[in-house]
Amino acid sequence: MPDNTSLTDDAQFYSELLRAYFDSTQDAIFVLCDEMKFLTCNKTTEHWLGRSEHELTLHNQRTPITRLLGENYDADKFSAFFNNALKGNSTSFETRINPPQGKERWIDINLSRVDIENGDMVIAVGRDISERKKHLATIEYQSHYDELTGLPNRTFIIEYLDKYQNQGNQQKKPQELVLMVLDIDRFKEVNESLGHKFGDFILQEIARRLSRVTDTASGEFAARLGGDEFAIAFPGIELSQSRITAQMIRQIISQPIIIDTRKISLDCAIGMAALPAHTNDSTRLIQLAEAAMYSTKSQKLGISIYNPEQSYSSSERLQLVTDFREALKNGGIHAHYQPIINMQTKSLHVETLARWQHPTHGYIAPDTFIPLAEETGSINRLTSKILESAMRGCATVLNEHLIESLSINISPYCLANPKLPAEIKSYLEKYTIQPGAVTLEITESAMMSNLPATQKTIEALHGLGLVFSIDDFGTGYSSLSKLKHMPLKELKIDKSFIIDIDQCENDSAITNAAIQMAHGLGLDVVAEGIENENIWNRLRQMGCDYGQGYWIAKPMPVNELLLWIDSHHTLLKPSTT
């Protein structure tokens, strides 16, 4: 017969061994009676709940587990799972607990019925999954929010728009929403001049400003789409209301950003599209707003609403970028030349303009492909090509004095390139052109820039003997106190002031004032956009120095320019009046 003492000792040994395992596991294990009160638990359970087993299982003080898991816990949910387990259905679920005397944690818990003589009980095994939840939350955050600015990202916007429209569908009421996409002008130039640290600071400041103009209680929010491109969603408003809001946003963005001792002033282009006016597709809405923004940048409008007849979609624009790079690589971008006539002496000058004849779309305007070159980092390469083409093409007519000077547009992005002066010098020497015969046209904002790299490049170019012209004068923000200290030869009045000068007194007055101001500063004036003889005569009476426009001649290749010069030799003589 077996030794009863031995059996008792073995039972005690295995009981103690089981208890040791019970208490050593990192999982919480506890047994509940049918009233969800504790019958026993291990050390991990004590640690999680901040109470001893004695406190939890004391018969006259037993507390249902639902009162111990904290205010963030769904007691009804636990009760439902518990009752299901009592019916013999093992169940697992994840939940968050926050015990009054413990700490908050996420647990994965399994409930199973145990049948014994004294009644049905439920054994629970809980595993701490807080770190896994934290990791998943980080991944979820990173997939929906921008790390640098903390703003929602493109994925967040698409999911939000889908939910917004589904809500409208359920209510059988169209949901109106305006999406604005804005791009920061000249950010690439600033980023390359001051460094990525300051560039990141600027993006963060832009994000803060956009967040301040949104009313989160109304569902409005700002997001970062990538790079220097942001978006703002305005649910519940119509397009007719949005233009004023967009103007306010542009004013807020244009306020100076102070970095160390520098004040950086930036502008932005805003494009808008609306639900359901333009589309009911969330991804498409972003594409249309981006298309409107690109149209805004190319036409220098500041703000525009999507127009299917004028804008490229994002997919079309992507293809256009690819085609542009191919054209630049394979010689598809050409230099054309537009005559500029001295209104008094009739001497000839020419401006170099880049032209692209697309094999499918035909003529692509510079206002479309120049921004593409700037945004995709191809602008330096494009500028190099046009610079050399212009000097090679016009070297003979310059040296034979058939034209007095050659003007070339320089993008603000190129002025941040420290290699530009040496490159231009090499072309001047290669084609034996005098530096004073080359005029570099740059924008007001570039000339007024206080970015060190830009100013250093301008000084180096001026040191070579090159002269400068402010292009599109009147569309930027010039300071006269700075203007008079700049190495300028001339300013070009933007064609928007010229085309109606013979019909609009305001344009006429503005143009006349600009001419007198320029002369007071010792600068020549070029008027671009002359479309008829009346405008030519009006400008000449005002004392304008040079005229340019389709009435004189359209841009043309160098071989046609030579023929034009030959056929207009009678025009190109000193005036007798």
pLDDT of residue 478: 52
494 vs 509: CA distance, rounded Å: 14
Q: What are phi and psi of 164, to 5 degrees?
A: -60, -45
* 499 SS3 class: coil
Q: Which of 380, 370, 453 is nearest to 416 (CA)?
A: 453
Which pLDDT score is estimated for 481?
A: 55
Of 3.30.450.20, 1.20.1250.20, 3.40.50.620, 3.40.50.720, the CATH number of 19-133 is 3.30.450.20
By C-alpha distance, which of 23, 27, 25, 109 is closest to 66? 109
Among 275, 267, 152, residue whose Cα is nearest residue 202: 267
Give the integer Cα–Cα distance in Å for 466 and 277: 52
Beta strand extents in 208-332 (DSSP E only): 221-226, 229-235, 257-259, 262-264, 268-275, 303-305
Interhelix angle 366-375/282-299, nearest 10 degrees: 110
Asked if 97 and 48 touch (Cβ cutoff 8 Å), the reply is yes
**Predicted TM-score (pTM) of this structure:** 0.58
Retrieve residue 34's tokens: 């049918």
- The answer to whether residues 207 and 135 touch, using CB atoms and an 8 Å cutoff, is no
Q: What pLDDT sits at residue 464?
A: 95
Spatial distance between the Cα atoms of 100 and 103, rounded to a whole number of angstroms: 8
The residues, any chain, with a CB within 8 Å of residue 40's CB and separated by 6 or more, are 30, 31, 53, 57
CA 192 – CA 172 distance, rounded (Å):
50
Tell me if residue 120 falls in helix, strand or coil: strand
Cα(77)–Cα(69) distance, integer angstroms: 12
Q: What per-residue confidence (pLDDT) applies to 9? A: 61
Angle at 417 between CA 290 and CA 231, to 5 degrees: 20
Q: Which CATH superfamily is domain 332-567 in?
A: EAL domain (3.20.20.450)
Q: What is the pLDDT of residue 550?
A: 92
pLDDT at 575: 36
CA angle 199, 205, 206 (to 5 degrees): 90
| Per-residue pLDDT tens listing for the chain (577 residues) | 455 555 456 667 767 777 777 888 899 999 988 788 888 889 999 988 888 888 888 765 666 787 777 666 677 888 888 889 888 888 898 888 888 777 888 999 999 998 776 667 899 999 999 999 998 888 888 889 999 999 999 999 999 998 888 876 777 666 789 999 999 988 887 887 778 888 899 999 999 999 998 988 888 999 999 889 999 999 988 777 788 889 899 999 988 888 877 888 888 999 999 988 888 888 889 988 988 888 888 777 788 888 876 555 556 777 888 899 899 999 999 999 999 999 988 899 999 999 999 988 888 888 888 878 877 778 889 999 999 999 999 998 888 888 999 999 998 888 878 899 999 999 999 999 999 999 999 877 666 665 677 788 889 999 999 999 988 775 554 555 566 667 888 989 888 889 888 888 888 888 999 899 889 888 999 999 999 999 999 999 999 999 999 999 999 999 999 999 888 766 655 433 3
The domain limits of the chain are 19-133, 147-311, 332-567
The pLDDT value recorded for residue 476 is 52
Element (H, E) at 356: strand 348-358
If we measure between CA atoms, which residue out of 436, 426, 425, 422 comes closest to residue 466? 436
**How confident is the model at residue 354, as a pLDDT?**
95
424-427, long-range: CB < 8 A, 24+ apart: 424/387, 424/461, 424/464, 424/466, 425/464, 427/387, 427/388, 427/391
> What is the assigned CATH class of domain 147-311?
alpha beta
